[in-house]
Structure 1
Amino acid sequence: MASTSRSLGLVCSRLALKPIDVLEENVFRVKSYIYSDFSLDALPRVTCPNHPDAILVEDYRAGDMICPECGLVVGDRVIDVGSEWRTFSNDKATKDPSRVGDSQNPLLSDGDLSTMIGKGTGAASFDEFGNSKYQNRRTMSSSDRAMMNAFKEITTMADRINLPRNIVDRTNNLFKQVYEQKSLKGRANDAIASACLYIACRQEGVPRTFKEICAVSRISKKEIGRCFKLILKALETSVDLITTGDFMSRFCSNLCLPKQVQMAATHIARKAVELDLVPGRSPISVAAAAIYMASQASAEKRTQKEIGDIAGVADVTIRQSYRLIYPRAPDLFPSDFKFDTPVDKLPQL
């Protein structure tokens, strides 16, 4: 008791407070936490006593929180919720020598705090054929297991077309909402995941075509389109309409076209839409036709097949859109465009 009083007095002397002030402050903080709206200010913050404004460095291996200014260990035995980084020599025969589960996943019902069951040694640990019954099994619900498999498939598809992490996170959230609503019962999870990836790309402003999503999945374009419409209806959400400009930069970059050609193609496509020259045509086919016209007028010419392979459209589709805009070609090019081939010499197809 005496030591507690001395400690309280020492704290008070450092903070220039009386013991009663410390108690009142603690009571106020507790009341603020219980009765007021949640606020980070109501929670105690671990800081260095010598440098309270310094951002502490966390040593995950030792579990310490260290002040970068003076090196003082402010906190110890900090719990790391990530997956284990160590392996063990006696587990070399297993596929995963780690002794814990994966890192926490807030999208799963229990945060994926799973239990790993190691290899047993007794007779009850083996079945009648001598195989281990429980080795490395995890306590996870069937719904969480289905979502985990879908998340892995989403990550794999995103990696194949170099999509950033924020697209993956949005796709995972969309899939979780659809899965929990059970509004697409009977549809394959892979098809739902592919449609969610397509929606996430459009919502994040980096749209991909159905053919691009279809190429990295095992699902047909028609099935992805069906799931896309059902998901929008189930979640009562919407996506922005795609335009020719959404694809122009990527298509021209993949075709190794210079900036001047890209700007000309963008101008041609925009003017064609404004003049209502391509009614009913998809933005992708209009963009492909505009790129073909701009490249044919420049020194960096590209064939219909080269453009079609990048844009994911057939040669005949490019020709059909090109024929619609060709009669107004002189009005479509920007005024400062440097022609390598005059407008009247462009292919008529």
Structure 2
Amino acid sequence: MSSSRVCRTCGCTDIDIDQARGDAVCTACGSVLEDNIIVSEVQFVENSGGGSSAVGQFVSLDSAGKAPSLGTGFHTNLGKESRAQTLQNGRRQIHHLGNQLQLNQHCLDTAFNFFKMAVSKHLTRGRKMSHVVAACLYLVCRTEGTPRILLTPQKLHKI
């Protein structure tokens, strides 16, 4: 994409401005006229699932003076924060329900490992957290041979 800017090195007016990289480069001599250009508009792209994602790079206050890492969009960072929050909530709910079932720490840790596996395989998307937690605790009870009774309004289940 050309601009009406003039290169200070060679005087050429054919300047390539790349919004994705955030720089302006002279096409004649290769001089970088500007880098780390911050744009004020927000762009969105549609993903394969029909949803949309914002295009850009996350700039945080604590990374001042550091070179920005290439290829990491802000939605990736939010995904990591979301995953950490999901794991934290899962661990909390596993401990809460596991303590009510009087399960030992080994069983709780094993249930959390099942939960982490479910999160990494994207098996928690679209499912209630309480159901996933109950399934993980159920797996532990079955694999460890720890008999527990689950009460539901319809039936009495022994696991």
TM range (shorter): 0.3 to 0.5
Q: Flag the structure with larger Rg.
A: 1
Q: TM-score, normalised by structure 2?
A: 0.44
Give the structure with the larger helix fraction: 1
Q: TM-score, normalised by structure 1?
A: 0.21
